[in-house]
Amino acid sequence: MIANLGLVSFWGQSRSRNSRLRQTCYWGNTTALVSSGLDWVAGDRVYLAPTAVQHTHSDYVNIKDYDIQTGLLTFDRPLKYYHWGAFESTAKEYNGVDMRGEVVLLSRNVRVIGDDTMSWGGQIVTADTMDDLGTLVTGQLLFNNVEVYNCSQENTFQSAIRFEGANTKSHLVQNSVVHEGHGWTFKAIMSSNILVKDSDFIGAKALGFVVTQCANVTIDGAMIADVIKRKLDLGGGNNFADKEGCVSICAYTGPEVCDVSVINSVAAGCRYAGFVVPGH
């Protein structure tokens, strides 16, 4: 666990974040057509979001080859599912919405990797607190082009990236990716001054992205995807309904007074709901 009571600043190499599918992929395909001119290379890992009614139809594959001139992407294994694509955007037909499947790069050169021991994973926690002498100790997180993999803790609120009572400094998560963890990918509670921009949170359990009791938080250009049911046995039969979805904004414990903005963001492949927010 990275307990951030000072400054944690990681700045990785800038990468081509994502592409839309320019041609439909089918079960068993080992290639896909994406945008040309990307900086993707053999060994990179990518995610293909579901495009049909089956929300669990996500694919994770490694790149075997990428033709920078044509955009032909070759995978190390066949795809498991169907993913819809088209050579041009569907924005004209769907009121500005591009319906083509997204392919998201999951690899960065700066990596935070969790541990598999007892599904503990890993956590990056930023907070303000008082030390033994009563002095305020403040945390600050600055991430740019960082990969967080195999983190968070199973069946808890301990997400891969977590802000708890972090109100003094300004925080940034930009051009980064959190993927394939044991629980939630992101949580901010009783915190403020957080900007999450152009980042991806993919492969979570129960909930992907949670903000609660916060102020001055902006989520701009985020993608939250592939949030599946967690394995939780509370006993007593099957009368327990878990809270599930891609994004929960000021709603997990009921309607709250929050100052949070969510714009230009996408939810895909989630149970029950993409975005859960209180109305006003």
Start-to-end Cα distance in the chain:
37
Domain hosting 247: range is: 2-14+109-276
Edge-to-edge, what's the strand order for the sheet holding 215-220? Answer: 7-11, 140-144, 171-174, 192-197, 215-220, 260-263
Cα–Cα distance for residue pair 117/122, rounded to 1 Å: 10
Q: Position of tokens 């907070």?
A: 127
Kind of pairing between the strands at 7-11 and 140-144: parallel
Supply the pTM of this predicted model: 0.93
Residue 204 forms part of a structural domain: yes
Residue 191 forms part of a structural domain: yes
Say what the pLDDT of residue 239 is: 62
Best CA proximity match to 104, nearest among 269, 274, 276: 269
Say what the pLDDT of residue 1 is: 56
Cα–Cα distance for residue pair 244/38, rounded to 1 Å: 34
Residue 35 forms part of a structural domain: no
Count the neighbouring beta carbons within 10 Å of the beta carbon of residue 260.
19
Count of domains forming the chain = 1
Say what the pLDDT of residue 9 is: 87
Residue 122 forms part of a structural domain: yes
Residue 156 forms part of a structural domain: yes
Say what the pLDDT of residue 272 is: 87
Cα–Cα distance for residue pair 216/192, rounded to 1 Å: 5
Average pLDDT of each block of 10 consecutive residues along the chain (280 residues)?
69 97 97 98 98 95 98 98 96 92 97 83 89 83 97 92 95 98 95 97 96 95 95 64 90 82 94 84
Say what the pLDDT of residue 100 is: 96
Residue 19 forms part of a structural domain: no
64: Cβ contacts below 8 Å, ≥ 6 apart: 30, 42, 74, 75, 76
Structural tokens at position 186: 């992101």
247: Cβ contacts below 8 Å, ≥ 6 apart: 208, 209, 210, 224, 262, 265, 267, 274, 275, 276, 277
Rounded to a whole number, what is the largest CA-CA distance in the chain? Answer: 63
Say what the pLDDT of residue 236 is: 57
Q: Position of tokens 């004209």?
A: 92
Say what the pLDDT of residue 3 is: 56
Residue 140 forms part of a structural domain: yes
Best CA proximity match to 182, nearest among 114, 267, 241, 250: 114
Say what the pLDDT of residue 143 is: 96
Residue 266 forms part of a structural domain: yes
